[in-house]
Structure 1
Amino acid sequence: MKTPVLQFGTSRFLQAHADLFFAEAETPLAVTVVQSSGDASRAKRLAALAAPEGYPVRIRGLEEGRVIDEERRVISVKRTLSTATDWEEVTRVFIEEAEIVISNTGDAGYAPQPEDGAPAFTQAMSFPAKLCHLLAARFAAGAEPLIVMPMELVPENGRVLRARVLEIAAANAASPALTDWIGQQVIWASSLVDRIVSEPLEPAGAVAEPYALWAIEAAPGLSAPCVHPCVQLVPDLEEIERLKLHILNLGHTSLVDMWQRRGAEAGAVVRDFIAIPEVRAELDAIFAEEVIPGFAAAGRGAQAEAYLATTLERFANPFLDHRISDIAQNHAQKVARRITAFVDWAAANGGPAGMPRLAAITARSGQ
């Protein structure tokens, strides 16, 4: 079976997100999954992903007030490979079968490596360097350009990956024809993904919340990879990014500040913490008196209120043990990006002056 989707990454997020959507799509899509890290300890997972009976994804949480607790089977993965041991076959699939390339390799996968300038493939290369070699092979074979759709949590991820691949191509003295083909004819799609995938299942599968989103920024020649309720083609990702950053993420960081002021209990989880009346009252006041008015000033009040309702339901998920200590990592940097940046953005749009609660969080974080 030919697989039009070539996926780099084996994470439990992809298992419960894109791979599940491809299986449930109006027209299901077949996937080849490629492990780009070469981690031999994950060989069992790699084999299980392509089992004929599929693998399970358990959806557990709240949706419009209803408790959801169900299992779905993912049968979209038809083949699994590793760049460490199957590079020749990875290259063949990339040239002969792939129409869409997706990736979720994490920050480590994007990090430049000394081997990125090598004239031939080596496993020690970063993911963008491996992708550059695969694109060069496809171009040399005379195959059509394809769509590259990264899913890493990097703002404008398509543009970032394109720039890095072109940088590597230039360092390797790529021909002007190849550089033009990579930069102008390959479609580089930026996307934003969201779903809390709380734990893995062994040997493959995951537990995930009901909420899921795959928003893809529209571009010439680009269509959504599949028809599925959670997959959206949008004119501009900024609107969705801002809702996520300044409601869901801002809410999490605000809870960290409250948690620290209340003694930073080691085992506290979001679900139980927001059930404390004083905590919920403070969180509600932050949203009602500062965040929603800030969005309203920019003409996005109704969208923000709808997104907030979904966010609070996600926070209350009875099956999800989302530890506040995990959210608290890199707290000062998160305050700057999620809270201070919101206050500045809201002020620029004529939002409420002061925002004393958010200002106090910023001050306590040392920003």
Structure 2
Amino acid sequence: MKRLSYDVLEEQGYEGYLLKEGPERVLQFGEGNFLRAFADYFIDIANEKAGFQGKVCIVQPISNGLSDAVNEQEGLCTIYLRGYENGEKVSRKRIISSINRAINPYEDYREFLKCAANPDLRYMISNTTEAGISFDGTNKYEDTPPDNFPAKLTRFLHERYLIFGEEKGKGFVILSCELIDHNGDELKRCVKEYIKLWGLEEGFLSWLERENTFCSTMVDRIVTGYPASEISDLEKENGYEDRLIDTGEIFAIWVIEGPEWLREELPFEKAGLPVIVCEDCSPYKNRKVRILNGVQTGMVLASYLSGYNIARYCLDDPVIMGYMERMVYEEIIPALDLPEEEKLSFAKETFERLANPFIDHKLLAISLNTTSKWKARDLPSVKSFYEKFGKLPSNLVFSFAAYLAFYHCSRLDDGHMVGLRGEEEYFVNDDREVLEFFMEHKDDTVPQLVQAVCSNEKMWGEDLTKLGDFALMAEVYLNRIYEVGMHAAMEMLSS
């Protein structure tokens, strides 16, 4: 079977949209599944629907990567987006032609720097993992290349400045997609640290500030990647081999903190794409964290101890689904300060995403580091609800009791706590300090355990025993879980 290429598609009589040639307008640090099914997909749609007419040049961020595969397929890759949309099961296939080529700077550093001379280059996109945006003082200007991403970026920006000098319009719009708060601001801070470390000229620093726009962004799309279990059937159906075939969910949103002029210059909105350019990402991030992440963290441990292993199957259980709906619609949404229609629309999309029949999210995988997740995702909703209504939200407090039940284990084994679901053992994965704390309290009675955990200010940033009757409610629910079982205790919440 032939590898995917423009010639193969021509031989097949492919009639879908393709942009075979165009100027490289985007430099992208990262060639992984997420960016191909997210940013490169968006750019492909903008090329077709809004006349963006731009190609992407990928820079491989680490020494081992997919540059060869990208170039062997002339930048082409097949994307499948699948899930529920407005209650309907949907599967969409698109061949992405927005990528032009990939460069491995560890093998051809000169070609990487040569891109700085391209007058059409205007945008930079990065997704180099959460650890990618950091400052490492061991990186040097003369490294070929520096290992650190912000160091590579600084060296490239300086090359641009050396080529074009003070000429206006030759700076970049830099869109950071790493999953950290204020990612664009943090990336800019690291670049300025390298300018200082390397003793680069004041004129370059002035040009950086004047001609370049570092945008913090929030990205959201579950990308499930290479469909190994389906690949034979998909390649047979397509009639070509594709080493970069990628899968993800239908839902997506890209919120970009940027100036108003960016909405016109970067025509995502014109193309009908779910991209929002605004002054502050915080409301959108808060909506995602409170509703989507909040209900996911709030249901996962109770669902696992009720006998389930995969997230989407939990939504077929009327008891668990009712618990989740009450949590979202009666507790999280009423305490969230956003437009009502926007909250309800996002909640509807949340349940469609969680029920996606193409994604098997393992509950134990989602349970990783629940302590910090519950603190960031669910505790703020508990406090907001209490402040607004003068009472505590029962379903969210129950999720805390489920957390206590899940973490109340008997032994440590090779860095994991071991718990029991019936006769079946399971591992609890969290920070070492959390696991050691629970081990210290493994023989506590229910009142002792609740008191110890709730009053652990290092864990929660505050003493939860002072939050109204929170500790008392958690104790009642935990006793009930032990008396009647998790599923029955959850069902009693609705009565």
Taking structure 1 as the reference length, the TM-score comes to 0.90
Change (3 A) 1:262 1:147: same
Q: Unmatched 5+ residue regions in structure 2? A: 1-21, 228-241, 405-452, 454-459, 461-495
Is 1:309 the counterpart of 2:330? The answer is: no
> Offset of 1:34 from its aligned partner?
1.1
Match of residue 392 from structure 2: 354
Is the Cα–Cα contact under 8 Å of residues 10 and 33 in structure 1 kept in the other structure? yes
The answer to which of 100-109 and 86-95 deviates more is 86-95
With over 3 angstroms needed to count, the CA separation of the structure-2 counterparts of 1:351 and 1:182, relative to structure 1, is farther
The one-letter code matched in structure 2 to 1:269 is: I
Counterpart secondary structure, 1:132? helix
Residues matched between the structures, number: 357
Q: 2:192 & 2:320 partners in 1: Cα distance?
A: 48
The partner residue of 1:272 within 306, 310, 313 is: 313
Aligned residue type for 1:173: G
Q: Which residue of 2 aligns with 1:248?
A: 292
Alignment of 1:181 with 2:207, yes or no, is: yes
Aligned with 1:99 (options 93, 113, 122): 122
8 Å contact 1:256–1:324 — kept in the other structure? yes
CA RMSD of aligned residues (A): 2.2
1:50 match: 74
Q: 362, 365, 372: which is aligned to 1:326?
A: 365
Contact kept? 1:147, 1:188, Cα under 8 Å = yes
Q: Is the 8 A contact 1:294 1:352 kept in 2?
A: no
Q: Is the 8 A contact 2:222 2:249 kept in 1?
A: yes
Deviation of 1:351 after TM superposition, in Å, equals: 5.2
**2:10 aligned partner:** none
Distance 2:386 2:196 in 1: 42
- Aligned partners of 1:104 and 1:151 also within 8 Å: yes
Deviation, 1:44, is 4.2
Return closer, same or farther for 1:181/1:312 CA change in 2, 3 Å cut-off: same
In structure 2, what is the Cα distance between the partners aligned to 1:30 and 1:346? 48
Q: Which residue of 2 aligns with 1:238?
A: 282
Aligned pair partner of 1:136 in 155, 158, 176: 158
Q: Is the contact between residue 331 and residue 381 of structure 2 (CA under 8 Å) also seen in structure 1?
A: no
User: What are the superposed Cα offsets for residues 90-141 of structure 1, whole Å, 9 maximum, x if unpaired?
Assistant: 112133242000001112322443532x131344521011101111111121
Map of 2:323 onto structure 1: 282
Equivalent position SS for 2:175:
strand
| Identical aligned residues as a percent | 25
Q: Deviations over 1:41-85 (max 9, x none)?
A: x3443334534xx21101211111122112101001111111211
Matched, 1:155 2:181: yes
> Contact conserved, 1:195 with 1:213, CA < 8 A, in 2?
yes
Asked whether the equivalents of residues 28 and 125 of structure 2 are also in contact (C-alpha less than 8 Å), the reply is yes
Is the counterpart of residue 196 in structure 1 residue 219 in structure 2? no
Alpha-carbon contact 1:102-1:151 (below 8 Å) kept: yes
Shift of 1:360: 4.0
Q: Contact 1:48–1:55 at 8 Å: present in 2 too?
A: no
Q: Does 1:258 align with 2:258?
A: no
Aligned to 2:64: 39
Contact preservation (8 Å) 1:20, 1:74: yes
Contact 1:187 1:221 in 2 (8 A): no
Highest Rg: 1 or 2? 2
SS in 2 for 1:115: coil
Question: Cα deviations across residues 208-240 of structure 1 (Å, max 9, x unaligned)?
Answer: 111111121232653363333222223421111
Give yes or no for contact 1:340–1:362 (8 Å, CA) kept in 2. Answer: no
Q: Among 10, 30, 38, which residue is 1:9 paired with?
A: 30
- State the AA in 1 paired with 2:131: A
Does structure 2 conserve the Cα–Cα contact (< 8 Å) formed by 1:50 and 1:80?
A: no
Q: Considering Cα pairs closer than 8 Å and 6+ residues apart, tell me whether 1 or 2 has the greater RCO.
A: 1
- 2: CA distance between counterparts of 1:284 and 1:220? 37
Structure 2 Cα separation of the partners of residues 78 and 315 of structure 1 = 34
Shift in CA distance, 317/2, structure 1 to aligned 2, threshold 3 Å: same
Give 1:82's aligned amino acid.
N
Q: How does 1:165-176 map to 2 (within 5 A)?
A: 165-176=191-202
For 1:238 and 1:32, how far apart are their aligned partners in 2? 30
Shift of 1:13: 0.9
Q: Residues 275-294 of structure 1: CA distance to partner in whole angstroms, max 9, x if unpaired?
A: 12211111111112211111
Q: Deviations over 1:176-214 (max 9, x none)?
A: 222222234311111111111112255112111111111
Structure 1 residue 342, shift from structure 2 partner: 3.1
